[in-house]
Amino acid sequence: MTTRFRRFRDFSKARSGASAVEFAIVLPVFLMLVFGIVMFGAYLALVHDVQQLAAEAARTSVAGLNETERRSLAASYVAQNAASYPLIVPAQLSVNAATSSTDPNVFIVTVNYDASHTFIYTLPSFVPAPPPTIVRSAAIPRGGY
């Protein structure tokens, strides 16, 4: 009986595998954290880029003399400048520009981006993926008032 007790006491004092067990417990949480930071950081960069395109297109559209010219200016601005954003694929963008339905003196430019083809959605799904469609708008008053 004393040998069994001695073996149990020796086993309870053994610490050689503790680091491996702690590593196995902490690694999945750490990977979730890292992949979450990478995924949502890249997603927020995409959202920012799309918002910047919408805001600059709205500013550019102010120079138009009528609704058709404003739409054309906004769409051409997005088409010409989308390639300058490294995370955006210009073919995945669409632009909608129109006068606000609530205020005839406000022009709204909406940029839609289909992000489903970006590297974010190829990462392992340790964390829930953000929505693949990014929609951002910018409104600007006519006449600068």
pLDDT tens string 29-57: 898 888 888 888 999 999 999 999 999 99
Task: List the domain range (segments joined by +) for residue 45.
Answer: 2-144
pLDDT at 11 over 80: no
Q: Strand ranges (DSSP E) for the chain?
A: 93-99, 106-114, 133-141
pLDDT tens string 77-107: 999 999 999 999 999 999 999 999 999 889 9
What is the C-alpha separation between 29 and 24, in angstroms, rounded? 10
Task: Sort 97 into a burial class: Cβ within 10 Å, 0-12 / 13-18 / 19+.
Answer: buried
pTM of the model: 0.78
**Please, which residues bridge with residue 133 across strands?**
114
Count of domains forming the chain:
1
